[in-house]
Each structure stands twice: as structure tokens, then as C-alpha cells.
Amino acid sequence: MCGFAGFIDSTRATGGDALRHGALRMADALHHRGPNDSGVWVDESAGIGFGFRRLSIVDLSPEGHQPMRSATGRYVVLFNGEIYNHAVLRRELAAGESPPAFRGHSDTEVLLAAVERWGVEGSVRRFVGMFAFALWDRKEHRLTLGRDRLGEKPLHYGWMGRTFLFGSELKALRPHPDFRGELDRDAVAAFLRSGYIPAPHSIYKGIYKLPPGTLLALSGTIAQERPAPVPYWSAKEVVEAGQADPFPGTEAEAVGHLDRLLRESVGLQMVADVPLGAFLSGGVDSSAVVALMQAQSPRPVKTFTIGFAEAEYNEANHSRAVAKHLGTDHTELHVTPADALAVIPKLPGIYDEPFADSSQVPTFLVSQLAARSVTVSLSGDGGDELFGGYSWYFQARRIWDIVGRVPKSLRRLAATALGAVSPRLWNRILPLLRPVVSRHVTGDRVHKFATLLRDVNGPDSVYRSLMTRWTGPPPIVHGACEPRTVLTDEASWPRLGGLIDRAMYVDAVTYLPDNTLAKVDRASMAVGLESRAPFLDHRVMEFAWRLPPAMKVRGSRGKWALRQVLYRYVPPALIERPKMGFCVPIDSWLRGPLAEWAHGLLAEKRLREEGVFDPAPVRRKWREHLSGVGNWQHQLWCVLMFQAWLEAEKTGPRPADHGPPRNARAGPPERGVVAS
């Protein structure tokens, strides 16, 4: 795992020393991603500079050094990630005409030889792995950026004046003197819906995320060309192809085939020249990965988990039981509230832009724990999207089964009636309705249900409503127009029979890369740990979408086929329990140890002066949350994560940010946010 950055100065007015210095400063901002080695390459005639930081995983020798030139000298590459099938490709290349003379055994060298033989697109179609790369063709003067199929590795890019910038993280772009950090208010509106900024957008105007499964080619001779990413692999096409060609075998054959696929994926991802382990929560996904690792390892696999004092958030007992059954070398850390709260000031520096999945806190802590013993850790990410595991799939279906039977006019009438009673008054009425109404129903939930009754017009809109943090007019971001995304554009979804299938697809192309994988990549790389996800081998995804729905979801439970694989290694009794998720008690912390911090960020005077949010709805939710009238933790966490990010932009360098000091408001707009 590594980090890279670079730029093309289209004026070609920058000398070689300045190119090297600029590339080095950008790369040094990514020291946390690559503490083992660094490198710079420039071409003064092309105005291009490459900078690299290396975390050595495969081929620890100097032969793995980057930037790396191809054997012919035509190509120079920056590569972040792992090509798991590089040994197979190496043999294929060696068996062909004019076999390359390999110097070492790194996958980066295989990438370059593959491009020489098959071209860029022909190569990436053969790769099994997670990756992001920047490839300079010295003959054609062409830069190609590429990203893996499911978006495990990040890559940002964009024009700043007459300079094209690119890098693994946004913090790598800031040190360049041409960088202008102008706030994209439309992206903030999208962030408030989802809790993350969806690709291709970023928090800065003019800077984009390369979508998963795409290549972007830029001619070094054309200034400010606006290149469009071109897909080499499409999740939508995979889904549609899988539905058109369902797996024809029996359930037992399907489970056996899935077992073999996952074994192969896990086996490939266990290859490393450094210590390796796994995150273990004790749930279906992580337990399956660890079970398949232990089945292929002659030694106990190192596993890691964290626990919390609050029982409803603590999975440590479950992971301990699974670890004991499988015989892993298990490490468990019980986290105090002080431990978790100490992470929060670091979040803006880790994530570079507003990011509001509160499980970012335990993800960082378990990564920090694992990094003390290993350099690579496998995870169960992707299992929910491929096999139907998220609770909101079943919630959406249940809600529509009820709501869909009611005529739209009656739904709107009911919504008006429910909304006419304040959440505070509902909280007084609801205890009188027990046990007919669950104790989990609160006044704010009644109001959310009223909004849903008024706005939904089909099962897909129920799912979208459940995935939305801030809902309804008026928008709380001043001067913003929320951009269309996959989540909000149902016309872009593939034609699928059921709500759960459609929700799984949307999650796989939005929530998975932009939330889950971004969360894990930044948290793990902040401590120099490489995270790998065996479920995200694209061949596993392609097979999962060939499975009939009944082999994934039965009743109100998902992951049927995956559970059957797991039961070959772990007794069901150790696994079967309600899904807890990987969360922290943000709701109570905002009323307790985080209250003072939050109060400062949400002060009405501050909100007005900054001019991003309408203070009224924000302050109302803050008051209701503090009083216990409503639980607005998700909505407030979005605003707080933006506010914390904005404060970090104004005050200068942050933890995990090795760029130079900057000021967002005063002086020439060389760094940070420029008010738009």
C-alpha cells in the first residue's frame, strides 16, 4: 500500500529543480501511506512531476522502488494497491514472444510489462486486485489514471489553472502552489444527504474522484483539456448479465462454488512479504474471511477486535468466541470513551473532506491496534452489498408493504395529521400507547414516518428515504443545488425485479466505495496498515449476482449462501444473533462528553458568520437532541463533521497532513477553502 501524487504544468515553464521540489512536497504529504521509501521522477520537457511514498508489502527490495520505469523506458508508473494475480500474469508474459526481463518480483513491474504487451485497457481487464495508478507514456505524451473495479483505492484529480493535479488523497494536492481550495456548496448538499461526498465530486470545486472501474487519459500537449473517465468494467452490466444468466445448479452446488471462489480470493490476498492478520467482529462477513484464512494457514491467524463498555455496542464477546473456535491468535482491546473521543480531533486530517460515518472512530482504533502487530489486515467489507445483509433492505420492504397499500391521498392526509403534533408532544403521548407501540418509537421517528408517508411514491423511494440524513425543503446549505447522483437518479439503476436487489446494486456503487471503502482506506493508511477485502474480488461479485434472490435473502434474513459457507467452519450458534454494526454511542456522547465541543461548532453566531448553513434547522435539532426530545445524532454528526473540517481548513495543518501551513480566510488564496 502506498500513496502517490503528481502534476502536469501545461505551460512547461517550470524547471527541473522546481518540478522535483513540487512533486516531493506533494508526496511528503502522504508519508503516513508510505513510511518505508520515497521517490521522485520528472520530465522537464513535458512539465510533469511524479512523487511517491511506499509501504513495502511485496518485494521489499530496492527493485520495488517507485516511480518505476518500464524495461523499454517508454512508460513511468505510480502504483498504489495490489495485483493479486501478478504471479499468474508474470508467467503468462514470460511464456509469450519477447519475454520481459524482470528485475524483481513486484506487481508494479508486472503492470508495466503488461501495458507494454497488452496496452492499458487490455491489462486492467486482466488484473485481479485493488489499485489506483498514474501512467505516463513518454512516447505519446499521455497520462492515464486508473482505478480498480469496486473503488478500494482512492484517486483524485483536477485542473487548477494551467496545472493538472492528481493524488491518492486530497492532502497531497494542497502543497502545490497552484492549488485553490474553493468550497463546492453543491457537494456539501450531497454530503448532508448521505454523510459522505459521492463520486465524482469532492469538497473542492474542480477536483474530482475518479469513479471505480474507469480510466482517464489526458494528453500532455493539451492545456486544460477536460477528460472524461471511460469505464473498462461496469457494475451495472455485471448485474444485468448475472440476472440474464442465473446460476443453474442446486443450492449445494452454489454453496460449494462460492466456498471455492472465496477460498481462492482469500488465499491470493494472504500473499505478502510482511506480517498479516484480520479484523474480526464475530459477524458473518469477518468470521467467514477469518475461517477461510485459518483453513489455509499453517499458523494461527492474528485477529483483532475492540470492545466497548456499552453492551449494545460491544461485539468483543462474539469475536472472542469465534476466535477461540477457529484457534486464531486473538488480540482484544477494550476502548474507553476517552480513547474514542481522542480520535475525533484527528478526523479532519485523516479524511481530508467532511465524512460522517461515526464508525470511522472504531475503524481507526482497530486499525491502530492491528498496526502494532501486522502490516496487512483482511476485512469482511462488501459482504452486505453482495449478499443482502443490511437491515435497511428489510426495513424498506416492510415499510412499503404497509404504506403501499394505502392510497396516496390518504397517505398525505395521515402525514399532515402526524406532523401536526410536535415531537415533544408525541413523546408524552407514546408511553400511553404501550405495549401497542414499541418503546423504540419516538416523536422524531413519528415525524420521519410522516415525511416518508408524504414523499414516497414507490419502494425505491422508501429505500432512498432511509439512506438520507437531512431531508426535505428548505435546503439548509446556502446557495447550493444538490447534484444528481446514482442514489437520487432511479433512471440510472438497472432493471431488477425486487427492491432488495435494486438497493444492493445502488449500495455497491455508492455507499460501498464512497463510504465504507473510503472509511477503511483512510483509517488504516493513517497508521500505515494495508487493508484488503476478499469479498471484493470482482469474480466473487460476478458470481453473487448470478445467484437467484432466494439464495441470498430468505424472509427477513440475508446472506443465505454465505452463511452456509461459514457454517462449514463455524457452528451457527456462534454467529446467529442480531446484527449490531460497528458503531459508537454518538447520541449519548453529544449530550455528555462531546456537548461542549459540539456547542462551539454549532453556535448560532458562528453559523451565521460562516454562511454555509441556515442556522435555524441546525439549532433546532441541536436543542431537541440535548433535551432528549429527539435523537438527531446522524443529522448533527454530518454538520459537526463539516464544521470540524472547516475549522481545520481555517487553522492550518492537521494531524496526518504534512502539507505546509495555510489560511483559509486571510491572505492570497493559496491553500484551504476559498469562499465561493
Neighbouring-strand partners of residue 332:
305
- Give backbone dihedrals phi and psi of 533, rounded to 5 degrees, phi first: -130, 95
Task: End-to-end CA distance of the chain: give it in Å, rounded.
Answer: 36
* Domain of residue 516, CATH code: 3.40.50.620
Beta-strand runs (E) in 468-595: 530-532
Tell me what pLDDT residue 223 has. Answer: 60
Tell me whether residue 579 is in a domain: no
Are 330 and 461 contained in the same domain?
A: no
Cα 68 to Cα 23: distance, rounded to the nearest angstrom? 15
Number of H helices, E strands in the chain: 27, 19
Which segments of the chain have a pLDDT < 70? 1, 56, 58-63, 220-225, 309-314, 440, 472-474, 577-583, 652-676
Strands 530-532 and 673-674: unpaired
Residue 556's CB is within 10 A of a number of other CB atoms, namely 11
Tell me whether residue 581 is in a domain: no
Which among 531, 424, 480 is positioned nearest to 183, based on CA atoms? 480
Strands 68-69 and 48-54: unpaired
2 is catalytic: yes
Tell me whether residue 580 is in a domain: no
SS3 content of the chain, % helix, strand, coil (to 5): 45, 15, 40
Which among 441, 449, 395 is positioned nearest to 418, based on CA atoms? 449
Are 428 and 557 contained in the same domain?
A: no
Are 518 and 372 contained in the same domain?
A: yes
- Give backbone dihedrals phi and psi of 40, rounded to 5 degrees, phi first: -135, 140
Tell me what pLDDT residue 652 has. Answer: 66
Are 368 and 242 contained in the same domain?
A: yes
Domain end position, chosen among 213, 233, 253: 233
Helix (H, G, I), strand (E, B) or coil at 558: coil
Tell me what pLDDT residue 662 has. Answer: 31
Are 564 and 591 contained in the same domain?
A: no
Q: Read out DSSP for 428-493?
A: HHGGGGTTTS-TT--HHHHHHHHHHHHH--SHHHHHHHHT-SS-SSSPSBTT--PPP-TTT-GGGS
Cα 440 to Cα 417: distance, rounded to the nearest angstrom? 21
* Domain of residue 94, CATH code: 3.60.20.10
- Contact in structure between 626 and 595 (CB atoms under 8 Å): yes
Tell me what pLDDT residue 659 has. Answer: 34
Helix (H, G, I), strand (E, B) or coil at 236: helix
Tell me what pLDDT residue 357 has. Answer: 95
Are 498 and 379 contained in the same domain?
A: no
Are 18 and 145 contained in the same domain?
A: yes
Are 106 and 246 contained in the same domain?
A: no
Number of domains in the chain: 4
For residue 353, what is its C-alpha cell?
473532506
Are 24 and 57 contained in the same domain?
A: yes
- Domain of 520 in residue numbering reads as 236-389+504-574
Which among 159, 144, 168 is positioned nearest to 232, based on CA atoms? 144
Domain end position, chosen among 470, 503, 536: 503
Are 226 and 240 contained in the same domain?
A: no
Which among 529, 564, 537 is positioned nearest to 291, based on CA atoms? 564
Domain end position, chosen among 233, 252, 271: 233
Are 34 and 170 contained in the same domain?
A: yes
Tell the residue number behind the cell numbers 455528555, with chain if given.
592
Q: How far is CA 542 from CA 238, 438, 485, 537, 545, in A?
A: 6, 40, 24, 9, 5
Tell me what pLDDT residue 673 has. Answer: 44
For residue 251, what is its C-alpha cell?
443450492
If you compute the radius of gyration of the chain from its CA atoms, what whole number of angstroms results? 25
- Contact in structure between 496 and 553 (CB atoms under 8 Å): no
Residues 6 or more apart from 52 whose CB is under 8 A from it?
A: 2, 3, 4, 27, 34, 38, 39, 40, 66, 67, 78
Tell me whether residue 96 is in a domain: yes
Annotated catalytic residue: which of 2, 481, 583, 638?
2
Tell me whether residue 607 is in a domain: yes
- Contact in structure between 66 and 39 (CB atoms under 8 Å): yes
Are 427 and 492 contained in the same domain?
A: yes
